[in-house]
Amino acid sequence: MSKLILSLDGGGIRGAATTQFLTHVEKSLQQKHKKSLRDCVDFYAGTSTGSLIALALATTDMDIQDINKLYSVTNAKKIFAENRGFLELDGVNAPKYKADGKTEILKKSLGQAKIKDVPEGKHILAVTYGVEKHRPYVIKSTRSEFQNLLSYQVADASSAAPTYFPTRDMALPPDNEQAWLIDGGVVANNPAMCAIAEACRLWPDAVRRVLSIGTGTQTRKINGPDSRHWGALQWMLKGCIIDVLSDEKVVGYQAITITPPGHYIRVNAEMREQPGFEKAPDDAMDDISQTNIKRLKGMGDFWFSQYGEAVVELLNNSYEGPSLDRIDPTSGKPIVYKPD
Task: Please give the share of the chain, as a percent, with pLDDT higher than 70.
Answer: 88
pLDDT score recorded for residue 92 = 53
Q: What is the pLDDT of residues 46-105, one digit of tens each?
A: 999 999 999 999 999 999 999 999 999 999 999 999 876 544 555 455 788 988 999 999
**Mean local confidence (pLDDT), 299-319:** 98
Least confident of 258-262, 296-300, 301-305, 308-312: 258-262
Q: What pLDDT does residue 177 have?
A: 85
Measured CA to CA, the distance from residue 316 to residue 208 in angstroms comes to: 13
pLDDT of residue 239: 44
User: Poorest-confidence range of 13-27, 210-224, 264-278?
Assistant: 210-224
pTM listed for this prediction:
0.92
Range name among 47-51, 95-99, 207-211, 262-266 with the lowest pLDDT average: 95-99
pLDDT of residue 85: 57
pLDDT band at 250 (very low <50, low <70, confident <90, very high): confident
Active site residue ranges: 48, 183
Return mean pLDDT, the chain. Answer: 90
Cβ neighbour number for residue 91 with a 10 Å cutoff = 18
Kindly state the average pLDDT of the residues 316-320: 97
Of the candidate CATH numbers 3.40.1090.10, 3.40.109.10, 3.30.56.10, 3.40.980.10, the domain formed by 2-336 belongs to: 3.40.1090.10
Does the pLDDT value for residue 225 go beyond 90?
Answer: no
Phi, psi of 245 (to 5 degrees): -65, -30
Residue 284 clears pLDDT 70, i.e. is over it: yes
| Cα-Cα-Cα-Cα dihedral sign, residues 241, 292, 108, 96 | positive
Residue 31 has pLDDT above 70, yes or no: yes
* pLDDT at position 19 over 90: yes
**pLDDT recorded at residue 91:** 44
Contacts of residue 290, Cβ cutoff 8 Å, sequence gap at least 6 = 73
End-to-end CA distance of the chain: 27
Residue 229 has pLDDT above 60, yes or no: no
pLDDT recorded at residue 253: 84
Average pLDDT over residues 256-274: 95
The string of pLDDT tens digits covering residues 130-178 is 999 889 999 999 999 999 999 999 999 999 998 889 999 999 988 888 9
